[in-house]
Amino acid sequence: MDPTIIAVIIIILALLFDFLNGMNDAANSIATIVSTRVLTPRFAVAWAAFFNLVAAFGFGVGVAKTIGKGVVSPEILSLWFVLAVLFGAIGWTYTCTKLGLPISVSHALVGGIIGAGLVKGGVKVLVMKSIIKITAFIILSPLIGFFLGIFFSIVTTWTFRRWSPWRVDRLFRAGQLLSSALFSLGHGANDAQKTMGIIVMVLVASGWQEGFHVPLWVILSCHVAIALGTLLGGWRVVKTMGMRVTKLVPVSGFCAESAAAASIIGSSLGGIPVSTTHTITGGIIGVGSLRRLSAVKWGVAGNIFVAWVLTLPGSALISALAYLALKALGAA
């Protein structure tokens, strides 16, 4: 097959991955605002999609660079390598979305890169410094969200302690519009860049460009794809995050979203690909546990944690098998 056609197909698959990202991860940014009934699902997805798109401007491409050249050595890049990576990431993400598990799409992508990289070049091609940092944030991002959720809850409780419950509820119904917007902005800034990194891999591997820079058309197409995924929604994930982990009211939803937004935007500016799923889950559990530990449905939280742990090896296994299959067929 003509290499140009292969490259175009892989770019389309990368945008499909971005679309699935919108269905799974972007659902996290509207889960709390839907569960507290501040917005209906239809308006909530439109709200989140808009800010996913706005995030195309002003956040740089640090995360894209980490994905594109910070996980494996750039010299092993090929079109078939990128195709195997996408098989791993898309396969794992699609399966977990169907099961209603809010996994980290970010780590599915990183796992896909690691799996194909190990098969093609062995351990020596892995950029361990970046992989260790990304792996560390699997643990750190939910902890940061957890403690920020507790912090924001304490601050808001003390600040509005003399207010009547209905006044607090009214204020934070409006406040959730802001916190959800910030979280959607952070999500678009971090997650769309991951697909940008994959597409630039294709451009470099196909010889369409030299060096790692992200063209404007790549930036815009990735943000449009993730916004469209959000519009169609991942309602099983919304239900898991917003209704099954703990019961939320507008003030607690505001605190959880604010905690996640602060964490994800800070990471994006630092070029660290983190999981919006991890940060919002940590925020929700932090807010719920402050009321009382029994307010958190730890069984549901445990299932989510298991999905997180399995994401890296699961997507790595799929991409490794995909690369071996392509190699056996004489393509790779």
pLDDT of res. 328: 87
Q: CA 168 to CA 173: how far, in whole Å?
A: 9
Question: Which tokens sit at 252?
Answer: 């607690």
CB atoms within 10 A of CB 132: 10
Q: Which residues contact 297 (CB under 8 A, 6 or more apart)?
A: 244, 245, 246
Own/partner pairs for 158-161, CB < 8 Å, 24+ apart? 160/251
Q: Which residues contact 93 (CB under 8 A, 6 or more apart)?
A: 17, 20, 21, 24, 103, 105, 108, 315
Per residue of the chain (332 residues), what is the pLDDT tens digit? 678 898 999 999 899 888 877 776 656 667 677 777 777 777 777 888 888 888 877 677 788 888 888 899 888 889 999 999 999 988 887 887 777 666 777 788 899 999 999 999 999 999 998 888 888 887 788 888 889 989 999 999 899 988 988 888 889 888 888 888 888 888 778 888 888 999 999 998 888 888 788 899 999 999 889 888 877 765 555 555 444 445 667 888 888 889 988 888 888 887 787 777 778 778 888 887 776 655 555 565 666 677 777 888 999 999 999 999 998 887 76
Any idea what the Cα angle at residue 271 is, between residues 34 and 110, rounded to 5°?
A: 75
**How many other C-beta atoms can be found within 10 angstroms of the C-beta atom of residue 305?**
14
Apex 297 CA angle, 295 and 301, nearest 5:
130
Domain regions of the chain by residue span: 3-328
Where would I find the H helices in 99-164?
105-121, 128-159
240 in Cβ contact with 100 (< 8 Å):
yes
What was the pLDDT predicted at 177? Answer: 86
What residues are paired with 126 via a beta bridge? 72
- State how far the Cα of 99 lies from the Cα of 237, in Å rounded to an integer: 9
pLDDT of residue 245: 46
